[in-house]
Amino acid sequence: MPTYTPGQVVEKTGFSLDTLRYYEKIGLLEDVPRTSGGRRQYRDDDVGWLGMLRCLRDTGMPIARMLEFAELSREEESIPDRIALLEEHDRDVEERIDTLMRQRDHIRGKIAYYKSVTGPR
């Protein structure tokens, strides 16, 4: 089973070393094995989990909600609860997308207006 150094995981996930340590400290990332010298050794499962955390974070999920999802993910029987949590987050993301699209339309309308009063460039 391949393992990865913290530096390799930083490259693969885009998280900083500080973020990796923080996620481990608060329980988002659990029990990363260490070498006899105390250096963390990440596994493919860890990198995959960090990819999920990256997705949740990048789509605006608060840390507290991410922790709730992490706790649920450690319980086999919690799949319906995980689905419900992710569906709720998906609705939140959809609402933000809709808001951004309306705001973009407003910006584009303003751009078109300014172009109409100043002429083409």
pLDDT of residue 121: 62
pLDDT of residue 81: 98
Q: What pLDDT, in 10s, does the model give residues 82-117?
A: 999 999 999 999 999 999 999 999 999 999 999 999
pLDDT of residue 44: 95
pLDDT of residue 49: 97
pLDDT of residue 31: 84
Domains annotated on the chain, with CATH: 3-118 (1.10.1660.10)
29 vs 23: CA distance, rounded Å: 5
Q: What is the secondary structure of 3-47 as a DSSP string?
A: EE-HHHHHHHH---HHHHHHHHHHTSS----B-TTS-B-EEHHHH
> What is the amino acid identity at position 2?
P
pLDDT of residue 1: 81
Return the top range by mean pLDDT from 1-5, 37-41, 95-99.
95-99
120: pLDDT strictly greater than 90: no
